[in-house]
Structure 1
Amino acid sequence: MASRRLLYLGLALLVASSLFLLWNLRAPIDFILTLRATKLAALCVVGAAIGTATVVFQTIAANRMLTPGIVGFDALFVFIQTGLVLMLGGVGFASLPALAQFGAETVILVAAALALFSVLLRKGAEDILRLVLTGVILGVLLRGLAGLAQRLLDPSEFAIVQQATFATFGAVDEIQLGFASVILLLSFAAAMGLSRKLDIAALGRGTAQPLGLDFDRVVFAGLAIVALLVATSTALVGPISFLGLLASSLAHAVLPTWRHALLLPGAAIIGATILVAGQFVFERLLGLQSTLSVIVEFAGGLLFLFLVLRRPRP
């Protein structure tokens, strides 16, 4: 049943992708198809990466209400963008080589995440709660520092920061997308290779270790995969904090299974479908030019509040 539903999810993504590419297609067809294909690839890659990372993170944290963004990826990204504009100015920031900036941001985000994981979990993987709380505090600190720095910018530079810190798929560089796709595909393959161990890790440390699982090693490997997936997608298009919560919640609802071999591709497909279908409706049907991430964050925030406030079943 779950495998069949996964197939249906794949067909839904195929339909959404076809509509996105071919709807109201006019001359020059080759040029427009190239632009749309680049944007479609970015939507699919980022959606799949965030969906996969969220399922892995929730399994490790044993909490379906958490997302990797709670560790502070988005806050660090905003802090980096603000710092660059403050130091280089608007003209200097705009003249930075796109590929070098993407590579540097990816390395910084991954290094910061791995440093946080290794420092806080050096005594073992049982203290995930301390990791989450530290990530929340660091995120608040970085947002505060970024807000303070933004007050020092003139209006034109502040506008540049605002544009750089919202997720956008309209100006994705093809070379950056190529490098990001390779990293994200390898990370997804690593997550799939870890799926059976994640099935056991989901039982909890006390149950997993007697079954022969090296729980600490699985947690560190899972967090490293999460860091690569989220850092690369964030450096490519910007932060989308609540997309993962939407994709993961829908994956658990549509695929009532504990097997990560199905949940991981399910969340990846759903995450990609949300972005592709949302961008199609937002851009093609409604003709709006705002950023899709605003709508995704709004819907994800509502879902988070629902999960927090709903009464537990007796």
Structure 2
Amino acid sequence: MLAGLGVILAALAGLWMVQGLGPGNRAFLLELRAAKLAALVIVATAIGTATILFQTVAANRVLTPSIMGFDALYVLLQTALVASIGGSGLAALPAAPRFAAEIALMTALAAVLFGTLLLRGARDVPRMILTGVILGVMFRSVSGFLGRVMDPNEYAVVQAVSFASFNRVETALLPHAGLATAVALVLAWRLSRRLDVLALGRDPALSLGLPHARVLIAALALVAVLVSVSTALVGPVAFFGLIVSGLAHGLMRDARHAVLLPASALLAAILLVGGQWLFERQLGQAATLSVVVEFAGGLFFLYLLVKGRIR
């Protein structure tokens, strides 16, 4: 199954690169398409992997990092940065150091806030979910307050990073985002067996000798890095990871993270590359992929809730 998904992704990538190439400057077009393809694959891999990791930590397949406020935390950081140094100051910052600082700060804050939350609420999942949602609302409220008191022109800069757009990609960040995502994937792969034990629950994991607290914090740190990478490239995406994780569990029918992690990454890349190819090359940008993804993800979220209640 994994090999088949890889073949589908390779075929879509080839179609994305070569379809519609005219007799003009092909090298220029191929360079632009390669950069956008790399961004789509990086974002898809980051979102798919982060969702699987977070659902394992939270012991709930209905949750995504966005629901618990990870994206809201990133938008708050961006809003505070624009409010303090302005949009022109933000644009003047070197891309690589800013990107590294954002990931480091995001990871540290997420580990402190959500790590403490999950460790204290490991036996009370409803309280953990409620607290995470409240924190997300608080982050969004603070971002909204800062947006109201800043200059409208500066607020337009904040708006640009508050909504997902797969057509707006910071190509200068691609090498750094790719490196950060690759490192996170390697670390997640090395944790895969421990994550299998973690998914059994706190008490069984402790009885099997798993350092439960350390694995929780490590998984949360990886989630924070991956979410910050995807958000920095295209903006916050709420429900896409939910679709990918649901497809990965349904298609693979295997609870091992050594299977789920690559499956979710491949499925996410197939959906993003295929969806962007459809909307951009076939429909002439008649619709926006991010809007369709969020709508479908919201419906899938409601389906999971109803299915859970029926059971």
TM-score by length of 2: 0.90
Length, aligned pairs only:
310
Corresponding residue for 1:19?
A: 15
| Residue identity opposite 1:202 in structure 2 | A
The whole-number CA distance in structure 1 between the counterparts of 2:84 and 2:91 is 12
Q: Deviations over 1:130-157 (max 9, x none)?
A: 4433321111012112222323345444
More displaced 10-residue stretch of structure 1: 62-71 or 207-216: 207-216
Corresponding residue for 1:223?
A: 220
CA apart distance, 1:171: 4.3
Q: Deviations over 1:156-215 (max 9, x none)?
A: 444332222222343434441111111111111111111112112212122222223222
Task: Check whether the contact 2:115–2:220 (CA below 8 A) recurs between aligned residues.
Answer: no
Corresponding residue for 2:101?
A: 104
Corresponding residue for 1:210?
A: 207
Corresponding residue for 1:165?
A: 162
Corresponding residue for 1:134?
A: 131
Corresponding residue for 1:6?
A: 2
| Residue identity opposite 1:13 in structure 2 | L
Q: Deviations over 1:92-113 (max 9, x none)?
A: 4443333333223222211210
| Residue identity opposite 2:297 in structure 1 | G
The whole-number CA distance in structure 2 between the counterparts of 1:117 and 1:313 is 30
1:43 pairs, out of 30, 40, 53, with: 40
Structure 2, gaps ≥5 residues long? none
Task: Check whether the contact 2:114–2:132 (CA below 8 A) recurs between aligned residues.
Answer: no
The whole-number CA distance in structure 1 between the counterparts of 2:214 and 2:82 is 39
Corresponding residue for 1:272?
A: 269
CA apart distance, 1:31: 0.6
Task: Sort the Cα spacing of 1:214 and 1:285 in 2 relative to 1 into closer, same or farther, 3 A.
Answer: same
Task: Check whether the contact 1:55–1:263 (CA below 8 A) recurs between aligned residues.
Answer: yes
Return structure 1 stretches of 4+ with deviation > 4 angstroms.
121-131, 311-314
Task: Check whether the contact 2:95–2:172 (CA below 8 A) recurs between aligned residues.
Answer: no
Q: How high is the sequence identity, in percent, across the aligned residues?
A: 50
More displaced 10-residue stretch of structure 1: 127-136 or 280-289: 127-136
More displaced 10-residue stretch of structure 1: 199-208 or 156-165: 156-165
Q: What are the equivalent positions in structure 2 for 1:115-126 lying under 5 Å apart? A: 115-121=112-118, 125-126=122-123
The whole-number CA distance in structure 2 between the counterparts of 1:66 and 1:268 is 17
Q: What are the equivalent positions in structure 2 for 1:138-287 lying under 5 Å apart? A: 138-287=135-284
Corresponding residue for 1:73?
A: 70
| Residue identity opposite 1:10 in structure 2 | G
Task: Sort the Cα spacing of 1:250 and 1:134 in 2 relative to 1 into closer, same or farther, 3 A.
Answer: same
More displaced 10-residue stretch of structure 1: 24-33 or 198-207: 198-207
Task: Sort the Cα spacing of 1:158 and 1:217 in 2 relative to 1 into closer, same or farther, 3 A.
Answer: closer
CA apart distance, 1:291: 4.8
Q: What are the equivalent positions in structure 2 for 1:282-301 lying under 5 Å apart? A: 282-288=279-285, 291-301=288-298
Task: Sort the Cα spacing of 1:212 and 1:80 in 2 relative to 1 into closer, same or farther, 3 A.
Answer: closer
More displaced 10-residue stretch of structure 1: 36-45 or 282-291: 282-291
The whole-number CA distance in structure 2 between the counterparts of 1:50 and 1:221 is 17
| Residue identity opposite 1:24 in structure 2 | G
The whole-number CA distance in structure 1 between the counterparts of 2:310 and 2:141 is 38
Structure 1, gaps ≥5 residues long? none
| Residue identity opposite 2:113 in structure 1 | L
Task: Sort the Cα spacing of 1:216 and 1:128 in 2 relative to 1 into closer, same or farther, 3 A.
Answer: farther
The whole-number CA distance in structure 2 between the counterparts of 1:297 and 1:182 is 27
Task: Check whether the contact 2:111–2:217 (CA below 8 A) recurs between aligned residues.
Answer: no
CA apart distance, 1:123: 5.4
Task: Sort the Cα spacing of 1:311 and 1:66 in 2 relative to 1 into closer, same or farther, 3 A.
Answer: closer
TM-score by length of 1: 0.90
